[in-house]
Structure 1
Amino acid sequence: MSCEGIIHIVDDDRAAREGLGFLLSSLGLEIREHASAAALLGMIGDQAEGCILADVRMPEMTGLELLDELKRRNCPLPVIMITGHGDVPMAVRAMRAGAIDFFEKPVDGMALVDRIKDALAASRERAREARKTASLREKTNSLTAREAEVARAVARGLQNKQIATELGISPKTVEIHRHNVMEKMGAGSTADLVRQLVAAGWAEI
């Protein structure tokens, strides 16, 4: 897979599909061509990075219906709509359904490429944030109930003796739990731990 992600071209018009594919592949971008929305949905899986170029007017499932289905599946890939018969209401509907842009045929190739690059950059950033969130969730889920209590108390700015009093345990036990929390969270300092807990929604700045 390209480091930039795959660009999926969805169009029942073979000539249009192959023309776009040739343009994008000549720029070193990795593409996949699909003759229908169903073909795309059948293979896209959980791809996290890339973007989709979809024609609006296709048989069986239109581009707008494809947008709705991608949204239902929580697909993170940005979608750019393309049509040979566009009008303002259709463009508005596509944007409201989640498309990031709308191009009419014949497409301005360089303008489309610029928009695709923006979409790929946004896709990479979204995927990076998703990985960070998943990693953070995995770390917080690894904490025991007592470790979680200690972590929340630390995030509130309490010292070990205060935490011990609040939880009804010894300061030494608090110290052990705090050490375990730091290790499991991969935190290099209390400030680092608090930043992670804020990001996890466990504390407020």
Structure 2
Amino acid sequence: MSDRAQDPLLLVLDDDHDLREGLTWMFETSDIHVKGYGNFQAFSADLDSVFQSGKELCLLLDLRMPDMSGLEVFRWLKNQGYSLDRMPVIFLTGHGDISTAVEAVKDGAFDFYEKPTTDERLIERVREALRKSREFLDNQSVLKQWSDRINKLSPRERQVMLYVAKGKLNKVIAAELDISMRTVEVHRANVFDKLKVRSAAELATLLSKLGDLFGFDHSDGLE
């Protein structure tokens, strides 16, 4: 029997109780854990704890609800900064809402399905959305590891790191920072050791990938 604490989680936000029950049964029998919400208030109150759970997530979101439409909920998620890669959104829509759902997909939704939705295609699409969520979590884990490594660098080592990534020679770095070449060599060795890179080219590639995350860009001017 699987450990529910670690299972992926499908959230269903739909005011139709019978539909929620039917979707829950369909997905639970396919080994996808479901948590249903009948209104936005219950959903939004629970969302932070769900995001912090470390589970893969997907949201099935009804486009038409009385208190707050699915489109309004979707825009709220984006405005609040909830990642649509962390929690891909699949809209549930009636026939007359197809064009609206298509626009939502263009705006970042993962997909949409027309009610009634009781087929294997939806189950597989949810699985794909959950895989996307897992990829996001795995990437965040890798970025966290690099963040921890970079945070171990001293301010001077960060300066040297940026110059090295730009391909500057040790003597040029020494002159720019007004320190000895020997000091540059020590800092350079420390940077390579702490970041576990072996060359200036590897360092430059790393910083190019991580620049946005850590607030620097080795291709721009140094501060």
Is 1:203 matched up with 2:210? no
Q: 2:69 — aligned with what?
A: 62
Partner Cα distance (1:18, 1:108) in 2: 12
Partner Cα distance (2:151, 2:96) in 1: 48
Partner Cα distance (2:70, 2:147) in 1: 35
Partner Cα distance (1:10, 1:150) in 2: 51
The secondary structure found in structure 2 opposite 1:33 is: strand
1:96-115 residue pairs with structure 2 within 5 A?
A: 96-115=106-125
Q: 1:136 — aligned with what?
A: 146
Q: How many percent identity over aligned positions?
A: 37
Contact 1:9 1:31 in 2 (8 A): yes
Q: 2:127 — aligned with what?
A: 117
Partner Cα distance (1:179, 1:171) in 2: 12
Change (3 A) 1:78 1:52: same
The secondary structure found in structure 1 opposite 2:142 is: helix
The secondary structure found in structure 1 opposite 2:12 is: strand
User: What per-residue deviation string (whole Å, max 9, x for no partner) do you get for residues 74-99 of structure 1?
Assistant: 21210001133543332234324432
Q: 1:19 — aligned with what?
A: 22
Q: 2:34 — aligned with what?
A: 31
The secondary structure found in structure 2 opposite 1:146 is: helix
Change (3 A) 1:194 1:4: farther
Number of residue equivalences: 203
* Structure 2 length-normalised TM: 0.80
Q: Of 66, 71, 79, which residue of structure 2 is paired with 1:72? A: 79
Is 1:189 matched up with 2:192? no
Contact 1:4 1:120 in 2 (8 A): no
* Structure 1 length-normalised TM: 0.87
The secondary structure found in structure 2 opposite 1:106 is: coil
The secondary structure found in structure 2 opposite 1:43 is: helix
Partner Cα distance (1:86, 1:5) in 2: 31
Partner Cα distance (1:88, 1:53) in 2: 15
Q: 1:51 — aligned with what?
A: 58
Change (3 A) 1:30 1:123: same
Partner Cα distance (2:203, 2:99) in 1: 49
Partner Cα distance (1:24, 1:134) in 2: 32
Is 1:156 matched up with 2:166? yes
Partner Cα distance (1:36, 1:176) in 2: 59
Instruction: Give the unaligned 5+ runs of structure 1.
Output: none
Contact 1:2 1:30 in 2 (8 A): no
Q: 2:214 — aligned with what?
A: none
Change (3 A) 1:10 1:26: same
Shift of 1:154: 1.2
